[in-house]
Amino acid sequence: MASKLPRATRVKNKTPAPIQITAEQILREARERQETESRPPKQKITDQTELADYRLRRRKEFESLISRVGWNKSVWVKYAEWEESHKDLKRARSIWERALGIDALNRDHTIWLKYVHMEMKNKFVNHARNLWDRAVFRLPRVDQLWYKYIHMEEMIGNVAGARGIFERWMEWMPDQQGWFSYIKFELRYNEIERAREIFERLVQCHPKVSAWIRFAKFEMKNGEIGRARNCYERAVDKFADDDEDAEQLFVAFAEFEDKCRETDRARCIYKFALDHIPKGRAEDLYSKFLAFEKQYGDKEGIEDAIVGKRRFQYEDQVKKNPRNYDTWFDYIRLEESVGNKERIREVYERAIANVPPAEEKRYWQRYIYLWINYALYEELDAQDMERTRHVYRECVKLIPHHKFSFAKIWLLAAQFEIRQLRLKEARLLLGEAIGRAPKDKIFKKYIEIELHFGNIDRCRKLYEKYLECSPENCYAWSKFAELENSLYETERARAVFELAIDQPALDFPELLWKAYIDFEISEGEFEKTRALYERLLNRTKHVKVWLSYAKFEASAMSSDINQKKKCLQHTRDVFERAVSYLINSAPKLKEERVILLEEWIDMENSFGELGDANIVRAKLPKKLKKRRQIETEDGPAAYEEYIDYLFPEQITNNMKLLDSAYNWKKQRVASKD
């Protein structure tokens, strides 16, 4: 069981102490009270006997340490350096040799370096040379040993010996830096041919682009332009198909030719490189080529270079995301600005090959415009009508019409056929579109085309088919009736409207009724219009219907005074019925009732002397400011102000209620007495 923590001590007196102690004061006192460090007394040696005793004691200490931690390199180093400081080099060598006898220390190159440093410092060159030979034989992969060995030989003027050491080192095939050090060594003594031979061996040992470029720059520095070009050409033969390093090689080769004033050669190298290097690895190459063309090229060359760089960027983007259709659009616009038909068609074909991954319209909405732009390009720019027709047909085949379709494709294909004076083919396309994808846009455009050609019977058949597919479409019913009315077929138009309003479900019935009423008004059929309003009120008693009905009755006014009075009475009857309905059947619709009364007042004022707005003002309510609590998910919250209306009949009812209460109280008081 875990032990309980001690209870915190309660501080009873929380007033500040008379003497305040700071953390700085505590640290200072602790430092003052620390005991001073005891150091051994300094020993002064006055004669050889004391020196011998001191040396014996120190050697025993070192030997004791070695017997315990002989693996520790620092112990051996301190021991050997101590002997060296006492000028006993024989003993120091013995210690170094004993250390090298340990396998772990024998593989540590720092031990060799310190040992050789002792010999060199004391000018024992042969001893140092022997040690270097042993060290590079034991650790041939440690470059620092070779560098130090060569530096020693060169410092004492033994150039041939240093060269021999380099040759021994090169047999181990070190990295490029070792070869470059050998070359710099030969160049310091002006041995150009020897340096060239070493470069030849280097590119065989390390066949890398950086080595070849260094070789070519060496030849260029020595004025051997032909040899430098030969180096680049040999490198191109080896690395032209290398995706990783080819760009660096071609850039260096082109810059070399540029320095030699061989502009045409440099341009050819750039273009050859751009054709062979993958687009994703040639960014620096495009930048260099663009800078080159800006410096030496004409307007056309500069534009080609800019287009090439942008083409590279688009290729990289579509490679990363082939279904990024916006990138394809930008790429296509770039190629269209250049004007190469074959290249434009190639990009279009590559773009439309990236079909969306799923049969959902949201994935296809951007993709379908690739086909549309392709077809428009073939028709307008390339003027190849057969290819245009083929593009439209392939696009129609590709779309999964059983799930969704695109009306714009059918319409564009049909309009193309009409422009080619192939009306029959256009009708076949639109008929197929109606059969496979009966969309509103297709019906509207097809009817518009047939109406343009004056084929009324076809228009009627299309409207009938349209309404069979979507009988709830009020727009189609209205347009059908409008067509018949434009042909002065009044009875046909009225029959269409009657069929329309009898449909069990309509998308926008208010628009259809309005169109029917406007039609009857335009025909001067006021009785039929009034009957329509009454039929509409049987279906809905929305305040807008009452207002429209009242405005219609007011609009029937003529110059005859009797007719004016009759219209005024009809209008008032409509308003009275509306107010009565809102009072009895919809008492909660207070705002609608206020709107209705305000419109009634405006209507009375519009009748001039015949109107009487006072009879309506008596019906207007009083505005009251009230507060109510806002309900939220967590319960009641703040309060808000709102406008309420108190109508005259409510005031009367309240007064009656108050009178009843007063009479009741009066009776109770009387009964008590």
Condensed to tens digits (0 to 9), the pLDDT of residues 146-205 reads: 999 999 999 988 999 999 999 999 999 999 999 999 999 999 999 999 999 999 999 899
**pLDDT higher than threshold 50 for residue 1:** no
Quickly list H helices, 377-422: 385-398, 407-419
How many whole angstroms separate alpha carbon 319 and alpha carbon 309? 15
* Contact (CB, 8 A) for 443 and 462: yes
DSSP code for 623: E
Instruction: Kindly tell me if the per-residue pLDDT of 2 is higher than 50.
Output: no
- Mean pLDDT over 416-431 rounds to 90
Phi, psi for 72 (deg, rounded to 5) = -80, 115
How many CB atoms within 10 Å of residue 213? 20
pLDDT at 419 over 60: yes
Q: Are 281 and 249 in contact (CB under 8 A)?
A: no
Q: How confident is the model at residue 592 (pLDDT cuts 50, 70, 90)?
A: confident
Query: What pLDDT score does 40 carry?
Result: 66
Average pLDDT value for residue range 453-477? 87
Q: Describe the crossing of helices 407-419 and 385-398 by its angle, rounded to 10 degrees.
A: 160
Q: Which amino acid is at 328?
A: W
High-pLDDT (> 90) share of the chain, %: 18
Name the most confidently modeled range: 238-242, 288-292, 296-300, 458-462. 458-462
Q: Rounded to whole angstroms, how far apart are CA atoms 484 and 488?
A: 6
Share in percent of the chain as helix, strand, coil (round to 5): 70, 5, 25
**pLDDT category of residue 374 using cuts at 50, 70 and 90:** very high
Across 235-260, average pLDDT: 79
Can you give the pLDDT at residue 320?
Answer: 86
Check pLDDT > 70 for residue 533.
Answer: yes
Q: Which tokens sit at 635?
A: 């319960």
Per residue, the 3-state secondary structure of 40-83, as one string, reads CCCCCCCCHHHHHHHHHHHHHHHHHHHHHCCCCHHHHHHHHHHH
Task: State the Cα–Cα distance between residues 169 and 180, nearest whole angstrom.
Answer: 13
Q: What amino acid occupies position 219?
A: E
Out of 76-90, 371-385, 572-586, pick the least confident: 572-586
| 415 vs 437: which has the higher pLDDT | 415
Please, which residues bridge with residue 624 across strands? 644
Question: What are 274-307's pLDDT values in tens digits?
Answer: 766 666 566 677 677 666 666 665 555 555 656 6
Q: How many helices (H) and strands (E) does the chain have?
A: 35, 2
pLDDT tens digit sequence for 59-113:
888 888 888 888 888 889 898 888 888 888 888 888 888 888 888 888 888 999 9
Provide the mean pLDDT of the chain: 82
Question: Long-range contacts: 438-446, Cβ < 8 Å, 24+?
Answer: 438/465, 438/466, 438/469, 438/470, 439/405, 439/407, 440/407, 440/470, 440/473, 440/475, 440/476, 441/407, 441/408, 441/411, 442/407, 442/410, 442/411, 443/469, 443/476, 445/411, 445/414, 446/414
CA–CA separation, 34 vs 434, rounded Å? Answer: 103
CA 486 to chain centre: 54
- For residue 288, what pLDDT is reported? 73
Q: Say if residues 413 and 429 touch (Cβ distance below 8 Å).
A: yes
d(CA 198, CA 185): 11
Which residue type sits at 251? V
Element (H, E) at 236: helix 225-239
Which pLDDT score is estimated for 130?
92
The angle subtended at Cα 236 by Cα 235 and Cα 242, nearest 5°, is 100
> In whole angstroms, what separates CA 177 from the centre of its chain?
44
Q: Show the tokens assigned to 314.
A: 């688009």
How far is 140 from 133, CA to CA, in rounded Å? 10
If phi > 0 it is left, if psi is from -120 to 50 it is alpha, else beta; for residue 434 that is: alpha
Written as six digits, the tokens of 588 are: 């909660």
The proportion of the chain whose per-residue pLDDT surpasses 70, expressed as a percent, equals 86
Q: Is the pLDDT of residue 57 over 90?
A: no
Helix (H) or strand (E) holding 608: none
- Per-residue pLDDT at 45 exceeds 80: no
Q: What is the pLDDT of residue 307?
A: 66
Q: What is the distance between the alpha carbons of residues 23 and 233, in angstroms, rounded to a whole number?
A: 77
pLDDT of residue 387: 92
pLDDT greater than 90 at residue 371:
yes
Q: Tell me the per-residue pLDDT of 302-326, one tens digit each, with 9 for 90 and over.
A: 556 566 667 777 777 888 888 889 9
For position 4, what pLDDT does the model report?
59
